[in-house]
Amino acid sequence: MRPLLVLLLAILGATSSMAQPATGVLEGRVRSVSGEPLVGANVLLEGTFLGAAAGADGSFRIERIPAGRYLVRISMIGYETYREPVDIRPGETTRLEVRLRERAYQAPDVVVTASRREQRLQEAPISVSLLSPRELEVRNVLKLDEALRYVPGVYMTENQINIRGSSGFSYGVGSRVAVLFDGIALQAVDRGETALDAFPLDQVERIEVVKGAGSALYGSSALGGVVNLITRTPSDVPTTALRLYVGAYEPVRYPEWKARWAGARRFRFFEGLVLSHSHRPHPDFGYWASLTVQRDEGFRKDNDELRIRSYARLSGRLGSQWKWDLYGSAIRSQARTFYFWDNARNALLYETDRATGGNNHNRTVQLSLIPVLTWLPAANQFHLVRVRYYFNHVTPLNSPDPVRRDTNATRLHVVGFDEQSTWHLHRIGVLTAGLGGEVGFVRSGFYRGNEGLRLRTQPNLSGFLQWELPPGRWTLKPALGLRLDWYPTGEVTYTRLSPKASLVWNAGETLALRASYGHGFRVPSIAERYVKDDAFLPLAPNPRLRPERSISWELGLRWQALGWLQMDLAGFWNTYRDLIEARFQTGLPGVRGGAFQFQNVTQARIRGLELELEASPRSELRTRLGYTYMDPVDRSGPVETVLAFRSRHLLFWNTELARGPWRLGVDFRYLSKMERIETDFARFVEDVFLVVPIRLWDVRLGYERGFWAVNLIIKNALEYYYVERPALLAPPRNYTLQIRLRR
């Protein structure tokens, strides 16, 4: 860690002390071919960190540009990218008038997650899939798990993210995918998971999904991939948006289910609103704020929810070199969670005959505060510091006794920081380095372990370094990276070194070939090591768990053709060691009859192919196809078997047709049947082996006129009954009427 810090300080001192060259200004206006200003168009000088966003009239201005020749890139979702050289002369202002032509496909050209810096999608060294805000809006997506079901290669096992088979099923603990919010990690150290319903998706500019081991850049939990939600910058003109929706689950088809629960005989309703406002009243200050209120009766017995979520972002500048952001959130929810059914004949009722139960009633309060400071001392470097505070308080409401509620409540405090510095060094390349640290304190009656302690802590420190050849100078671009993570946790101290390497060959403006290699790891969560409970399933602690490890290989290509077709093809080969699974054990000290215990039991290999296509042969027609084939092998025993809780085939197809103000969209998802389910759960839950292939059709019809729009969305239109994970019926056919207003 110390040599890395010395290297960072030496480079920072050397680059900061360089004489600053004479500077000039670039300004201009970005409009469509028809002359309309393109508000928010992204303007960037490639090879630098200098850029701007077009204002309300399409104008932009970039100051303090060192004299020289640059390649200027102007991009906006839904329009072709402008890339032309421009000369900046000392003391002069260079002006551009740019008109962008519309294009059919909607994917953005720029990503930031693959290399922790902004780069063209064609230059990304690993598979990246993207979701645009329109895709979220027209589907009325309010939770991240709902959004990710429309990403090729992503499997959702209820609310657990599974990228290319990296995750199985662990009842909501120990995520193997890192979830970021503008690059900020908000993972709960007690469960090792991120609340997927805690993000303001109405303010998301795009969602980037990086597939493959990402620990060399993002540390623990990036063993299988990274999901990063990139938010919008505040709007130059005051913008207020309101989304209202009401919906209902259709009564189930089977008389047996209706006979056992009267609630299944009628429509079960859900409704909500999303209100947001964004404005930049001054060039040096802007903000956005978002409020979401949701209520859902649920289609299962005692599975209702009420959630209120508020988010805000303040942004500003201090002179020409400093930028700052302040994020804040407050979330309150009360929900009854349905863990597993009684049996397939009572699929809408939770099991109540035994002590294990199948339902929990919780009140949750979450708070976060994240200040961010960015320093741009020169055109070729930036330095970013983020501090984060996260609080989560979960109160179980099952017991009427307030003392017992307080005893079993979980209170979590997390304080962390990370620093990143990036230099575009003309001859050497792009150097990115950083330091980070975090400490989490959790007090809970569930994590008392064998020694009975209620207070647990899990600190960590990390440092990383990455080098890339300069963008634009070579068609062949290698990159190397290394990260060191240190987790002193008490019984065990975890230290992990995670390397990565990649190679991108830009064979032309429209074709890029890539190869990547990376290590991943995940440190066991507090819950996996110390949970001790018998309220649902009997659980026993295992404080000496080892970290999970992975090695990821990928070969791929990205091709843009004919102006209306994009294709990404990848082959991947991933190996996993010491994967943590819950297994039923007998003979445990102090445990009568046995209990589930998290153990390092699984060695696995997953290889496969993935194809993603986006095409718009006509301006009014857009279609997207994603197919993933996996060969998931469990190599833990003497004989190789199929890895549990995985599907071999995942197919997603979407098409949208626009005619005037009308929009018609169709989504289809197919997942092949899970070939293997762990047998231990059958000791406590009936019919856990009852799984089927998933074949889902969703249909939506919309009408958009000016500042308002109306959508009718039918999900599971063919009323197909299925489970995403054992012993939990997935939503039946349901309808949503959505009204959107924007001024």
271: left (phi over 0), alpha (psi -120 to 50) or beta: beta
Give yes or no: residues 63 and 121 share one domain: no
> Is residue 686 in a domain?
yes
> Is residue 443 in a domain?
yes
Return the bridge partners of 597, or none.
540, 583
The C-alpha angle 327, 333, 337, rounded to 5 degrees, equals 130
Check: CB of residue 650 under 8 Å from CB of residue 670.
yes
Give yes or no: residues 508 and 606 share one domain: yes
Q: How far is 163 from 550, CA to CA, in rounded Å?
A: 13
Give yes or no: residues 65 and 128 share one domain: no
> Is residue 44 in a domain?
yes
- Is the dihedral angle over the CA atoms 134, 135, 139, 145 positive or is it negative? negative
- State which of 100, 120, 141 marks the end of a domain: 100
> Is residue 573 in a domain?
yes
The C-alpha angle 89, 92, 97, rounded to 5 degrees, equals 95
Q: Tell me the residue type at 713.
A: I
Whether 189 has a pLDDT exceeding 60, the answer reads yes
> Is residue 327 in a domain?
yes
The C-alpha angle 5, 9, 2, rounded to 5 degrees, equals 15
Whether 300 has a pLDDT exceeding 60, the answer reads yes
The pLDDT, as a whole number, for residue 623 is 93
Give yes or no: residues 271 and 318 share one domain: yes
Q: State the residue range of the domain holding 401.
A: 110-742
Select the highest-mean-pLDDT range: 20-29, 33-42, 172-181, 271-280. 271-280
Q: Tell me the residue type at 254.
A: Y
Q: Mean pLDDT lowest for which of 392-396, 400-404, 511-515?
A: 400-404
Q: How far is 214 from 238, CA to CA, in rounded Å?
A: 38
Q: Output the six-digit token pair for 503.
A: 């190679």
Q: How far is 134 from 739, CA to CA, in rounded Å?
A: 14
Check: CB of residue 723 under 8 Å from CB of residue 691.
yes
Give yes or no: residues 132 and 197 share one domain: yes
Whether 181 has a pLDDT exceeding 70, the answer reads yes
Q: How far is 146 from 671, CA to CA, in rounded Å?
A: 16
Check: CB of residue 738 under 8 Å from CB of residue 245.
yes
Q: Tell me the residue type at 639.
A: V
Phi first, then psi: give them for residue 255, nearest 5 degrees.
Answer: -60, -35
Choice between 18 and 470, residue whose per-residue pLDDT is larger: 470
- What integer is the mean pLDDT of 686-709? 94
> Is residue 105 in a domain?
no
Best CA proximity match to 573, nearest among 639, 506, 642, 633: 633
The pLDDT, as a whole number, for residue 105 is 52
The pLDDT, as a whole number, for residue 385 is 96
Give yes or no: residues 95 and 114 share one domain: no
pLDDT digits (tens, 9 = 90+) for 574-594: 999 999 988 888 888 878 778
- State which of 40, 65, 100 marks the end of a domain: 100
Give yes or no: residues 601 and 475 share one domain: yes
pLDDT digits (tens, 9 = 90+) for 313-342: 999 999 878 999 999 999 999 999 888 888
CATH assignment at residue 30: 2.60.40.10
Best CA proximity match to 199, nearest among 336, 310, 115: 310
Give yes or no: residues 150 and 85 share one domain: no
The pLDDT, as a whole number, for residue 271 is 97
pLDDT digits (tens, 9 = 90+) for 354-390: 544 567 889 999 999 999 999 988 888 889 999 999 9
Give yes or no: residues 328 and 469 share one domain: yes
Best CA proximity match to 102, nearest among 658, 675, 587: 658
**Mean of per-residue pLDDT scores for the chain:** 87
> Is residue 262 in a domain?
yes
Residue with tokens 């209990």: 595
Return the bridge partners of 226, or none.
178, 210
Whether 598 has a pLDDT exceeding 70, the answer reads yes
Best CA proximity match to 191, nearest among 410, 508, 492: 410
Give yes or no: residues 429 and 388 share one domain: yes
Check: CB of residue 272 under 8 Å from CB of residue 295.
yes
Q: Mean pLDDT lowest for which of 12-21, 77-86, 626-635?
A: 12-21
- What integer is the mean pLDDT of 484-511? 88
**Band (535; pLDDT cuts 50, 70, 90):** low
Q: How far is 111 from 690, CA to CA, in rounded Å?
A: 41
The pLDDT, as a whole number, for residue 108 is 60
- State which of 100, 121, 141 marks the end of a domain: 100
Q: Mean pLDDT lowest for which of 214-218, 272-276, 297-301, 505-509?
A: 505-509
Q: Mean pLDDT lowest for which of 101-110, 122-131, 626-635?
A: 101-110
The pLDDT, as a whole number, for residue 474 is 61
Return the bridge partners of 363, or none.
334, 395
pLDDT digits (tens, 9 = 90+) for 442-466: 998 888 887 778 888 889 999 999 9
CATH assignment at residue 528: 2.40.170.20
Choice between 369 and 172, residue whose per-residue pLDDT is larger: 369
Residue with tokens 């990390």: 462
Give yes or no: residues 34 and 116 share one domain: no
> Is residue 11 in a domain?
yes
pLDDT digits (tens, 9 = 90+) for 5-36: 444 444 444 444 344 458 889 999 999 888 88
Q: How far is 669 from 503, CA to CA, in rounded Å?
A: 33
Number of domains in the chain: 2
The pLDDT, as a whole number, for residue 43 is 87
The secondary structure of 576-644 as a DSSP string is EEEEEEEEEESS-TT-SS-EEEEEEEEEEEEEEEEEEEEEEEETTEEEEEEEEEEEEEE-SSSS-EEPT
Best CA proximity match to 434, nearest among 460, 388, 465: 465
Q: Output the six-digit token pair for 320.
A: 């020409």
- What integer is the mean pLDDT of 463-470? 90
- What integer is the mean pLDDT of 219-242? 91
Give yes or no: residues 583 and 723 share one domain: yes
Q: Output the six-digit token pair for 350.
A: 């939770």
